[in-house]
Amino acid sequence: MFSETIELRGHIIDSLTLTKILDQIVTQGASFNTVEFRIGQKRADQSFARIEITAPSQESLDELITRLREQGAEVAPRK
């Protein structure tokens, strides 16, 4: 299994970005683990999510990451 961690920032809940990202992950045959999730407390506050994605091959993971980047996801820096 191959994995990568992405990050989402902004109004990811009310814009449905989080929903779209998770749907893409599942429909492409990958799985996810929410590593960190912070919801903004006020209307102007941004939310943040760090999600680890696992896919059956490097090729499918790379393709999925490309799609998720088009929707605003960023690849998290490796620690």
pLDDT by residue (tens digit) across 51-60?
999 999 999 9
What domains lie within the chain, and their CATH numbers? 2-73 (3.30.70.2690)
CA–CA distance, 74 with 50 (Å, rounded to integer): 10
Which pLDDT does position 7 carry in this prediction?
98
What whole-number percentage of the chain has pLDDT above 70? 99
Contacts of 32 (CB under 8 A, 6+ apart): 22, 25, 26, 51, 52, 53, 54
Question: What is the pTM assigned to this prediction?
Answer: 0.93
Give, for 60, the enclosing helix (H) or strand (E).
helix 58-70
On the question of pLDDT at 14 being above 80, the answer is: yes
Which pLDDT does position 79 carry in this prediction?
67
